Structure 1
Amino acid sequence: MPLHFPLGLFNPAQTARYFTMTVTVPLSMTPEQGGTFPPAAPNDDPLTLPPPRAVFGDPLSTALRNRRSLRSFDTARDLSLQQLSELLWCACGVNRTETGGRTVPSWRDAREVEVFVATRAGVWRYDPVPNWLSLHLRTDVRPLTSTPDLVAGAPLELIYVGHRDHLTNLPREDQYRIASTDTGFIAANIYLYCASEGLATVLRTSFDHSPLTRALRLDRGEFVTFVQSVGYPAA
């Protein structure tokens, strides 16, 4: 029987170490178990995500064949916490605990792109090291991430935010170019996870940066690169 490596793990030499990692979630747990996101009543405490399953998703070749951009979503169906955890782990989670290495590359390991998770209940910031979400805003900013004719009701918007203080001594245009390139690596992993889990996603630049930046209350050294919609596809 052929061995299929999980998405995000590209070095077969690390396979043994990966499969001997300790997890607190039973390997038989399905993505639907463990609750959905967002919570009905978000609070200021960090939301600890379940660890990603040791094995999940389709073989890489199958995910690549199924990869596509979809713009219509099931507005009544949320992702599970397990799916959200794996989605964010694919985005920029830690896959080498001894070094803190991530599932995606970044320019000189700058790790300058942060993932904001926007839902109807508010906006969270993803911290890969403890694998949790911190509540940033209790405001639904999703209407500012697109135009109604482009994306219909995605329950989840991943907002990619670059940090200039991770890219010091570079011209502003180079900072934006590098952060945008590194965002592309993140988005590609999200596409593959969604393709393997039967989810819909689309990466977008069609939004007004200024209102979204103000709504997110970003600092002067922070800027939005792209937005990626995620959810179950519309029937």
Structure 2
Amino acid sequence: MTTLGKFALGLMGKLRPQPALGDAAAVITLPPPDRQGGLPLMEALAARRSRRDYSPDELPLRQLSNLLWAAGGVNRDDGGRTAPSALGAHEIDIFAALPAGAYRYDAARHELQLAAGADLRRITGYQDFVDDAPLDLVYVADHARMRFIPAGRREAYAHVAAGAMAQNVYLYAAGSGLGAVIRAWIDGAAIADALGLTHDQQVLLSQTVGYPAGA
């Protein structure tokens, strides 16, 4: 679907997911992340860029495992994560929109848990390239976990945490031959409805990830 077509549907409140492509498992157990390898940090920073042209080739499970761990996985014995969070609230949930369904990443278990048995990629942003890329990430803040943070600061803190996760994804992508682009032009209400979010949960950002077209 074209960008303008999706935008028009969004204005009418009619932007909807597509049927799932294939059967969605209730849980996807991810292999342990590979904490070695990739480009040195300065080289990854030099290679970091936003891409908007993607191959539809699906990401191997290990690649998906490494990417999600980089975004917000557990990297310490005390439960600390690869991305910061004010007062350790860990308020950001990462949802992975795949062709067979949309999944919430459980960092503690390092697994994906089915949230919606539909293909949500077309509604994770108004741009047309998100429809066919193999993975769209959605960053969702759960304000119920931020009770110790002043109410007036919660949204700003959540955006900072989501931004840190998105940058982790950018750097992992740069060091692994993937492309990525962060997107804020989204229909948050359509995404929230498709994922069955509560009133305490806020859709903040989306991010497309995949192999660059022609790579």
- Normalised by the length of structure 2, the TM-score is 0.85
1:102 matched to which residue of 2? 81
- Corresponding residue for residue 209 of structure 2: 230
Structure 2 Cα separation of the partners of residues 101 and 171 of structure 1: 22
Structure 2 gap segments, 5+ residues each = 1-19
**Contact 2:72-2:81 at 8 Å conserved across structures:** yes
Call closer, same or farther: CA 1:173–1:139 in 2, change over 3 Å: farther
1:56 is displaced (CA, Å) by 2.2
Pairwise CA RMSD: 1.8
Conserved 8 A contact 1:118-1:124: yes
Residue ranges of structure 1 left out of the alignment (5+ in a row): 1-37
Letter in 1 for 2:47: N
User: Is 1:176 the equivalent of 2:155?
Assistant: yes
Indicate conservation of the 8 Å contact 2:126/2:187, yes or no: no
Alignment of 1:1-235 (within 5 A): 40-44=22-26, 46-75=27-56, 77-97=57-77, 99-149=78-128, 151=130, 153-168=132-147, 170=149, 172-235=151-214
TM-superposed CA distance for 1:145, in Å, is: 1.3
Q: How many residues align?
A: 195
Shift of 1:42: 2.1
Runs of 4+ residues over 6 Å off in structure 1: none
Shift of 1:222: 0.5
Q: Note closer, same or farther for the CA distance 1:147–1:177 as it changes in structure 2 (3 Å cut).
A: same
User: Which of the pair has more CA radius of gyration?
Assistant: 1
CA 1:150–1:50 in structure 2 vs 1: closer, same or farther (change >3 Å)? closer
Could you give the per-residue CA deviations for residues 46-79 of structure 1, whole angstroms, max 9, x where no partner exists?
221111124121111111110000011002x110
SS of the equivalent of 1:102 reads coil
TM-score calculated relative to the size of structure 1: 0.78
